Amino acid sequence: MSDILERLSTSILEGDADTAVELVQKSLDEGLAAKTILDDGMITGMNEVGARFRRGDMFVPEVLMSADAMSEGLKLLRPELAKSDVKMLGTVVLGTVKGDLHDIGKNLVGMMCEGAGFQVVNLGFDVPPEAFIEAIKEHQPELVGMSALLTTTMRAMGQTIKAIEEAGLRDKVKIMVGGAPVDQDFSDRIGSDGYGSNAVAASDLAKQLVGD
Amino acid sequence: MRANYQVNSGVQFRMLSEDQLEELFNGVLHVLEYTGLEVHHEEARGILSEAGADVDELRVRIPSHIVKKALALAPRSFTVFARDGNPDHDVHIGPGRAHFGPGPTCPNFIDIETQERRPYLKSDVPLVARTVDALPNIDFCESLGTVSDVHHELGALYEFAGMFPNTSKPIVAWSYDRFDSEGIHQIAVAEAGGQEAFERKPTYVHYCEPLSPLVSTFEAIDKLLFAARHRIPLIFTPCPIAGGTAPVTPAGIVVQAAAESWMGLVLAQAVCPGLPFIMGGVLSVMDMSQMILAYGAPELSLMMAGVTELAHYAGLPLWQTGGCTDSKTLDEQAAIEGSLSVYFSALTGGDLCHDVGYTESAMTGSVFQLAMMDEAIGYARRITRGIDVNEDTLAVDVIGNVGPNGHYLREKHTRRYYKTEFWYPNLCDRRNYEEWAQMGSQRMSDRSIGRVQDLLATHEPSAIKPETEQVIERVLAEAEERVKESA
């Protein structure tokens, strides 16, 4: 790995957004390919973040700073990636299901997925099944992620999956679920493709579901 | 600026009122003055007589003004130093500072490899000391056992010789007699670089134990004199048993224990004014169906809180007790008894809390109990540290910035405090069920055992000087010669 990409990776790991943006710009100026910058600089850094978090060596506030640095760098890199027709790892449509106003956990999943190299479409909270269906049609995602924090709104996940089936879109997407009251057993019962217990686990699951 | 503003640093705990403490204090003075103790040491009786005590054959009675003078001479605050200069391993004794460590002299030990109970061996000593050195909440070292596989008079010396190279945390050393004490002291002085250097920065505390009720035995007093003459910080700690060798009531046992300890105080201050002196002892109940001293009894915590408050009232640090259990194994009883006594001890601010890692009523030492209690001590310390209230911690501005339906995870304020405000467990499990199951569905006891084995596989204590190693060899060789000759 070149020195500049290694420094970029370190700036992501350290959550230093200013340096990350500066190094992305410098890498582009030096003529490095957008995909190389993404894969060998930024995603390498985020992968290390995930590994450290899983080991208990990094904590959520630090992970978020890294995700922010990743996100700032990506803003600069995205037009270049589009120009060279580089496909991201895939697209994830995310939302907190109908009746549930909890936003944070799902946003963390979004940031981690973005950090892992996904394009993320965040639908926000209190998202009705129809809005998920519209988004699938519009963005053609590989993945749909749903979140609920309340035992009372968990049921809306099953209802949303059913609605996606009825719209004939179930075989177009993989579905993953998460949220405090959700577990693997519930995920299986409502016919989801996977469950992530936290934001890092969710981005790992996303990568696994798209076969990366 | 704030005016007339009072801050509580840490959780406030107080069991006895000023009036009650004054009454206990006067009870102790009364026992020393009117009943007195037997002192089985002629030279010591001479010194006490010189100091103003009334000596009548073995019985020594001490007028209260003499006791008060000795109390005034003994320091409330002092430091016992790490032998390697590591400031993190220094123990600063003073108000509001609770420290923790194992206890001495259990006949049995839980084998670190097999987890079987068996006699304590010489080879266990370095392992206990290394574990103590590695555990973050254990502050001083004792060995958790009496070495059974050396000559029966040399156990204490081999024990110190095994601990000293394997931890730089201060050691509390017991001994059988003055010969042991001399050998132990030679080792510590060699590392310090001479007697004067040792006096400036003492690295161990000498532990002596008189007999209850009201007997200062020859050995306890003889070792006390050795410590006082070499300016070695001293613990003088009786082990009265309520209902057996002391009054059945907590107030009564506190009075008797203090009288027993303060006989040592008066003698030590007469020999070496200003000698750091740590008051004992271990107070608990005699279980009237099992005839044991109960190490897991709630009364132990209560009595220890009483004697701690009395010590602090009189201006002395205290040798506390906690983290011990009557359970035979690393189970729920061990966790309840150990954790509650650790927490209660931390609340009292008792200065050196020992016997962490005792199981089976002090019959068996367990380094696994010690590791589990390291977690309980960390937990207790987070609670006793309390809550800081100031403009920054109030976070009124931060609350305003985040507003309704926002979150705090990205706030600088969060990043500034989350590592220091939150306690992070080493052994308590907070994973979700699936991950916990995936990691082998381990119990607390499994994780405690795993942690000890990991620490022993990875932790290297700092080395002692090569010349100290030679002194250890010489001291042990000389001791072996001595016991050969006497046989």
What secondary structure, in 3-state letters, does A88-154 show? CCEEEEEEEECCCCCCHHHHHHHHHHHHHCEEEEECCCCECHHHHHHHHHHHCCCEEEEECCCHHHH
pLDDT digits over B363-407, tens only?
999 999 999 999 999 999 999 999 999 999 999 999 999 999 888
Q: Give the closest residue to B166 by CA, choosing from B138, B203, B135, B126.
A: B126
Q: Do B432 and A183 touch (CB under 8 A)?
A: yes
Query: Taking residues B132-137, what's their average pLDDT?
Result: 98
pLDDT, tens only, B315-341: 999 999 999 999 999 999 999 999 999
> Rounded distance, CA A21 to CA A201, Å?
27
Q: Give dist(CA B343, CA B355) in Å, integer.
A: 14
Sort residue A69 into left (φ over 0), alpha (ψ -120 to 50) or beta: alpha
- The second-level CATH assignment, the architecture, of B78-385 is Alpha-Beta Barrel (3.20)
Cα gap B408→B461, rounded to integer Å = 41
Residues 421-450 of B with CB under 8 A from A: 432-435
- Contact (CB<8Å) A183/B434: yes
Q: Do the Cβ atoms of B419 and A64 come within 8 Å? A: no
Contacting residues of B for A104, CB less than 8 Å apart: 407, 409
Mean pLDDT of B64-78: 98
ipTM of the complex: 0.78
Contact B434 A197 (CB under 8 A): yes
pLDDT of residue A1: 55
Residue B485, pLDDT above cutoff 90: no
Of B410, B414, B435, the CB nearest to A197: B435
Cβ contact, residue pair A101, B405, below 8 Å:
yes
- Find, among B288, B303, B375, the residue nearest to B334 by Cα: B375
CB pair distance less than 8 Å for A61 and B405:
no
The verdict on B5 touching A (C-beta cutoff 8 Å) is no
Q: Which of A60, A62, A197 sits opposite B432 (nearest CB)?
A: A197
Q: Of B405, B414, B419, which is closest to A103 when you measure between CB atoms?
A: B405
Instruction: Closest CB to B415: pick one of A61, A101, A184.
Output: A61
Residues in chain B within 8 Å Cβ distance of A103: 405, 407
Calpha distance B376→A197 (Å, rounded): 28
* Residue A61 distance to chain B (closest CA, Å): 5
Note the Cα A121 to chain centre separation in Å. 9
Global pTM value:
0.91
Going along B176-230, which residue ranges are E strands?
204-208, 215-216
Residue A127's Cβ-side half-sphere holds a number of Cα atoms within 13 Å equal to 28
Looking at the complex, does the CB of residue A193 fall below 8 Å from at least one CB of chain B?
no
Name the more confident of B407 and B350: B350
Range in B131-140, B158-167, B476-485 with the lowest mean pLDDT: B476-485
State the nearest Cα–Cα gap between A64 and chain B, in angstroms: 7
Q: Residue B129 and residue B141: Cα distance in Å, rounded? A: 6
CB contact set of B326 (below 8 Å; sequence gap of 6+): B292, B294, B295, B296, B297, B333, B337, B359, B360, B361
pLDDT of residue A62: 92
Residue in chain A closest to B412 (alpha carbons) equals: A61
List, in order, residues 6 or more apart from B442 with CB less than 8 Å away.
B429, B436, B450
For residue B437, the tally of other CB atoms under 10 A from its CB is 11
Residues 6+ apart with CB under 8 A from A48: A9, A13
Residue in A64, A103, A183 nearest the CB of B410: A64
Question: Is A60's pLDDT higher than 90?
Answer: no
The domains of chain B are located at: 78-385
Q: Per-residue pLDDT averaged across B407-427, rounded?
A: 93
With a cut of 60, say whether residue A140 has pLDDT above it: yes
The arithmetic mean of pLDDT across residues A90-107, rounded, is 91
Q: Give me the domains of chain A, ranges plus CATH numbers.
A: 3-83 (1.10.1240.10), 90-209 (3.40.50.280)
pLDDT at B59 over 60: yes
* Residue contact B410–A184, C-beta within 8 A: no
Residue B432: pLDDT band with limits 50, 70, 90: confident
Cβ–Cβ < 8 Å for B375, B428: yes
Are residues A59 and B419, on separate chains, in Cβ contact within 8 Å? Answer: yes
Gap from A127 CA to chain B (nearest CA, Å): 16
How does the average pLDDT of chain B come out, rounded? 96
Whether B225 has a pLDDT exceeding 90, the answer reads yes
CB B251 within 8 A of CB B291: no
Euclidean distance between CA atoms B290 and B310, whole angstroms:
30
Per-residue pLDDT band for B1 (boundaries 50, 70, 90) equals confident
Q: How far, rounded to the nearest angstrom, does the alpha carbon of residue B276 sit from its chain's CA centroid?
A: 15
CA atoms of A33 and B186, how far apart (whole Å): 70
**pLDDT tier, A82 (very low <50, low <70, confident <90, very high otherwise):** confident
- Integer Cα distance of B156 and A6 in angstroms: 56
Q: Residues B14-51: pLDDT tens digits?
A: 999 999 999 999 999 999 999 999 999 999 999 999 99
Q: What percent of chain A has pLDDT over 70?
A: 99
Residue A115 distance to chain B (closest CA, Å): 16
What is the secondary structure of B384-437 as a DSSP string?
A: HH----SHHHH-HHHHHHH-TT--STT-HHHHHHHHHHS---SSS----HHHHH
Are B261 and B238 in contact, with CB atoms under 8 Å apart? yes
Q: Give the pLDDT confidence score for residue A64 in this predicted structure.
A: 87
Task: Return the closest-CA partner of residue B284 out of B301, B306, B263, B267.
Answer: B301
Asked if the model's pLDDT at residue B486 lies above 90, the reply is: no
CA distance A11 to B179: 62
Residue B272 has pLDDT above 70, yes or no: yes
Element (H, E) at B296: none
- Token look-up 């391993």 returns B89
Joined together, the tokens standing for residue B203 give: 């690295």
SS3 B99: strand
Which residues are registered as beta bridge partners of B80? Answer: B91
